[in-house]
């Protein structure tokens, strides 16, 4: 079509139920089947006319399903992650066997920080894009010589070349709407996140986070530490467009690293969303003032996803979270008083973790009592300060970030706290948080109000119990 190569954007098949796509911050198979939208792939797809985006795991597609696609395309752009890289290389090789003329490139934070190493993994990979790859991929899809495309490493005559770095995108409104690609290529009903209404749609209104949490991959790689944002009108227009595309969608989620990094802008966007009458939710740090919370709530905000990480101030300081526990408590009280739901995320095994801090964190979570929570194991992704620290201090034990089934694995261990204990603390955390009368009662109340939600929660409950049983047997 036109001047563009026929381009396939592919989140490859890997572990069954693996949520490691171009939108998952934490790449693993979740306790409950969940899928984020492949927004990082949808964005360049929106810049390449005639392209197609295939998100294999939510669609239930396996390798034999996607390999025949190679015959229809001249260029395949695969999004990869630390956990799935080895699988993704096999997919690239299978595409190349099917159609030796197809050109294959990899994108994603994992390869952006080690481009040549990724190229060396297989001759099937012709190029690897750097951090912010939307326009890099558009230029490749225009058939330009790779040497002239900024932000690439590529293979030529048996060796690797690197082009000049691409500058971070400043005019974020230059990015076309991803919801048009979602409508063209995805089925919104296939995307689930346990704490969001279903169906939901998520997208970004900006990139980057001002905070410098040592474990957090995107701001240290693809996003940076300035919050570069789309204009309020651009965002509100995209949601209006999404409403036309997907009248069945019940909730919009703004997956910016920290949507509340710019409070006046968050309030202005909220005003536009309020006029559209949509229900929405977003990521936030546990420091949003009550006055802003009220404006957001009055304009349709239903839920905040809050990275508390730990109930130990020492650990929060170690990881440069930039949050005080007393303020996090106050923020949570304010949000709850306004009726805003909270999904809290915590991480076990961060630097400074001890048996005592594990207890402190579980107590803290029970005290602030978010509506739901997620507990992850510390995952030192290459490209992060945590990864470098773990290597230097000898904390990184051999092993993969996920096990053979794609479930998160414990790879950080300390002389005073083994990875087995850290692994076990996740299950204990979940049990002690959820198996309390007040939590069970809250879930029953929620289910009684909504028949569809009731069926979904029962299925999720069974899945969650199976997840705990699996962990128990692998501990």
Instruction: Indicate whether 166 belongs to the interface with ligand SF4 (CB under 6 A).
Output: no
171-194 residues labelled b (16+ CB within 10 A) or e (exposed): ebeebbbbbbbbbebbebeebbbb
Instruction: Indicate whether 258 belongs to the interface with ligand SF4 (CB under 6 A).
Output: yes
Which of 216, 335, 375, 417 is close enough to bind ligand SF4 by CB under 6 A? 216
Contact 106, 129 (CB under 8 A): yes
Binding mask 287-326 for ligand SF4 (x = CB under 6 A): --------------------x-------------------
Instruction: Indicate whether 351 belongs to the interface with ligand SF4 (CB under 6 A).
Output: no
Query: For residue 304, which of 234, 368, 215, 360 has the smallest C-alpha distance?
Result: 368
Instruction: Indicate whether 229 belongs to the interface with ligand SF4 (CB under 6 A).
Output: no
Instruction: Indicate whether 221 belongs to the interface with ligand SF4 (CB under 6 A).
Output: no
115/133 Cα distance (integer angstroms): 13
Taking the complex as a whole, the smallest distance from the CB of residue 227 to ligand SF4 amounts, in Å, to 9
Instruction: Indicate whether 379 belongs to the interface with ligand SF4 (CB under 6 A).
Output: no
Instruction: Indicate whether 219 belongs to the interface with ligand SF4 (CB under 6 A).
Output: yes
Residue 53 in tokens = 């985006």
Taking the complex as a whole, the smallest distance from the CB of residue 137 to ligand SF4 amounts, in Å, to 24
Taking the complex as a whole, the smallest distance from the CB of residue 287 to ligand SF4 amounts, in Å, to 10
How many residues are listed for the chain in this entry?
475
Non-local (6+) Cβ contacts of 7 within 8 A are: 45, 48, 50, 51, 52, 73, 74, 75, 76, 77, 141
Taking the complex as a whole, the smallest distance from the CB of residue 354 to ligand SF4 amounts, in Å, to 22
What is 127-178 written as a DSSP string?
A: EEE-SS-HHHHHHHHTT--GGGSSSEEEEETTEEEE-PPPPPP--GGGSPPS
Contact 381, 341 (CB under 8 A): no
By beta-carbon proximity to ligand SF4, the closer residue of 209 and 236 is 209
Judged by CB under 6 A, how many residues of this single chain contact ligand SF4? 9
Q: By CB under 6 A, which span of 29-37, 183-191, 213-221, 430-438 interacts with ligand SF4?
A: 213-221
By beta-carbon proximity to ligand SF4, the closer residue of 14 and 211 is 211
DSSP3 helix / strand / coil % (the chain, rounded to 5): 45, 15, 40
Instruction: Indicate whether 213 belongs to the interface with ligand SF4 (CB under 6 A).
Output: yes
Q: By CB under 6 A, which span of 171-179, 210-218, 359-367, 438-446 interacts with ligand SF4?
A: 210-218
Sheet architecture: strand order including 75-79: 52-55, 7-11, 75-79, 103-107, 127-129, 152-156, 159-162
By beta-carbon proximity to ligand SF4, the closer residue of 219 and 370 is 219
Instruction: Indicate whether 211 belongs to the interface with ligand SF4 (CB under 6 A).
Output: yes
Query: For residue 176, which of 134, 120, 119 has the smallest C-alpha distance?
Result: 134
288/332 Cα distance (integer angstroms): 9
By beta-carbon proximity to ligand SF4, the closer residue of 209 and 377 is 209
Instruction: Indicate whether 124 belongs to the interface with ligand SF4 (CB under 6 A).
Output: no
Taking the complex as a whole, the smallest distance from the CB of residue 52 to ligand SF4 amounts, in Å, to 30
Instruction: Indicate whether 257 belongs to the interface with ligand SF4 (CB under 6 A).
Output: yes
Instruction: Indicate whether 285 belongs to the interface with ligand SF4 (CB under 6 A).
Output: yes
Q: By CB under 6 A, which span of 110-118, 207-215, 412-420, 437-445 interacts with ligand SF4?
A: 207-215
Q: What is the CA radius of gyration of the chain?
A: 22
By beta-carbon proximity to ligand SF4, the closer residue of 6 and 212 is 212
Measured in whole angstroms, the distance separating CA 240 from the mean position of its chain's CA atoms is 24
64/54 Cα distance (integer angstroms): 14
Question: How many CA atoms does the CB half-sphere of 113 hold within 13 Å?
Answer: 19
What is 259-272 written as a DSSP string?
A: GGGSHHHHHHHHHH
Taking the complex as a whole, the smallest distance from the CB of residue 320 to ligand SF4 amounts, in Å, to 8
Contact 18, 7 (CB under 8 A): no
Taking the complex as a whole, the smallest distance from the CB of residue 209 to ligand SF4 amounts, in Å, to 3
By beta-carbon proximity to ligand SF4, the closer residue of 182 and 204 is 204
Instruction: Indicate whether 38 belongs to the interface with ligand SF4 (CB under 6 A).
Output: no
Which of 45, 54, 102, 209 is close enough to bind ligand SF4 by CB under 6 A? 209
Measured in whole angstroms, the distance separating CA 5 from the mean position of its chain's CA atoms is 28
Query: Which residues contribute to the site for ligand SF4 (CB under 6 A)?
Result: 209, 211, 213, 216, 219, 257-258, 285, 307
């Amino acid at each position: 079509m036109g001047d563009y190569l026929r381009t396939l954007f592919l989140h490859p098949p890997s572990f069954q139920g693996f949520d490691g796509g171009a939108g998952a911050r934490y790449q693993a198979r979740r306790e409950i089947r969940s899928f984020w939208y492949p927004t990082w792939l949808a964005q360049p797809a929106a810049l390449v006319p005639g392209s197609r985006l295939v998100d294999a795991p939510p669609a239930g597609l396996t390798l034999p399903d996607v390999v025949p696609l190679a015959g229809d395309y001249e260029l395949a752009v695969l999004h990869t992650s630390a956990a799935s890289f080895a699988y993704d290389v096999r997919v690239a090789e299978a595409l190349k066997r099917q159609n030796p003329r197809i050109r294959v490139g990899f994108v994603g934070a994992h390869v952006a920080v080690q481009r040549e190493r990724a190229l060396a993994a297989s001759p099937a990979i012709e190029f690897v894009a750097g951090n912010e790859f939307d326009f890099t991929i558009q230029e490749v899809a225009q058939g330009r010589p790779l040497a002239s495309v900024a932000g690439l490493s590529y293979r030529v005559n048996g060796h690797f070349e690197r082009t000049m770095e691409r500058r971070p995108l400043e005019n974020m409104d230059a990015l076309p709407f991803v919801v048009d690609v979602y409508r063209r290529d995805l089925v919104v009903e296939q995307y689930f996140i346990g704490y969001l209404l279903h169906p939901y749609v998520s997208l970004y209104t900006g990139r980057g986070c001002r905070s410098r949490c040592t474990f957090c991959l995107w701001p240290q790689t693809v996003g940076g530490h300035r919050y570069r944002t789309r204009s309020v009108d651009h965002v509100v227009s995209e949601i209006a467009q999404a409403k036309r595309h997907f009248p069945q969608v019940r909730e919009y989620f703004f997956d910016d690293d920290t949507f509340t990094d710019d409070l006046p802008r968050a309030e202005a966007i909220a005003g536009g969303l309020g006029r559209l009458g949509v229900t929405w939710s977003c990521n936030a740090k546990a420091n949003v003032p009550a006055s802003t919370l009220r404006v957001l709530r009055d304009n349709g905000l239903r839920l905040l996803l809050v990275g508390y990480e730990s109930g130990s101030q020492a650990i929060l300081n170690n990881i440069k979270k930039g949050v005080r526990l007393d303020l996090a408590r106050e923020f949570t009280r304010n949000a709850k008083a306004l009726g805003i739901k909270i999904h809290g995320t915590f991480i076990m095994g961060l630097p400074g973790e001890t048996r005592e801090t594990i207890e402190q964190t579980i107590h803290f979570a029970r005290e602030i009592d978010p509506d739901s929570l997620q507990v992850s194991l510390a995952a030192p992704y290459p490209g992060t300060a945590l990864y470098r620290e773990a290597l230097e201090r000898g904390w990184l034990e051999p092993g993969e970030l996920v096990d053979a089934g794609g479930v998160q694995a414990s790879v950080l261990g300390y002389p005073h706290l083994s990875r087995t204990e850290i692994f076990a603390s996740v299950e204990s955390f979940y049990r002690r948080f959820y198996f309390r009368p007040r939590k069970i009662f809250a879930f029953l109340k929620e289910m009684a109000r909504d028949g569809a939600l009731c069926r979904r929660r029962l299925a999720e409950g069974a899945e969650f119990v199976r997840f705990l049983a699996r962990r128990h047997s692998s501990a």
